[in-house]
Amino acid sequence: MPYNSVFRLDHALLRHGFNHKNNHGGSALDGRELANILIESIEDKKGVDVLLLDMREQTVIADYFLLCNSTNERQLRAIAEAVRDDAKIKGGVGGAKVEGDHRSGWVLVDFGDVMVHIFSEEKRSYYNLEELWEEGKVLIRIP
């Protein structure tokens, strides 16, 4: 999606009172604390090329984007399950919305403040979110 389209979407949502952020079940955790828990989950499942972007100045859809790669479908599914489980168990954050499927090569786990994008290497390269959201501040990069 071109940047201008994303920008227009964000502003249209704001005009209509939609605030996607802070939608993680009333937890006391802020987005950055949740992101740190999720990074640990990804590392525990051997996810690679982990990138945490601060998106607070770029979009209304989330404060942070957390991206990572998996090496196969099974690992992609395991990472998606682990971030949901650990958010609930370690952070008290439930109700994550999941889009996509491990077979598609891209699963999005949406916690409101934090969006986790779990990719196959091929899909990450194809969608290239780093370029689309290049204005986001890189907070953490783990190869």
Over residues 35-85, the pLDDT tens digits come to 999 999 999 999 999 999 999 999 999 999 999 999 999 999 999 999 999
User: Average pLDDT, stretch 114-139?
Assistant: 96
Which structure tokens are listed for 24?
């993680």
Give the count of beta carbons closer than 10 Å to the beta carbon of residue 121. 14
Structural domain contains residue 120: yes
User: Is the pLDDT confidence value at 6 over 80?
Assistant: no
Structural domain contains residue 5: no
For the chain, what's the residue count?
143
The tally of domains found in the chain comes to 1
Euclidean distance between CA atoms 10 and 37, whole angstroms = 27
Structural domain contains residue 62: yes
Structural domain contains residue 9: no
Structural domain contains residue 7: no
- Per-residue model confidence as pLDDT tens digits over 91-102: 999 999 999 999
| Cα 124 from chain centroid (whole Å) | 13
Q: Residue 93 maps to which CATH number?
A: 3.30.460.10
pTM of the model: 0.81
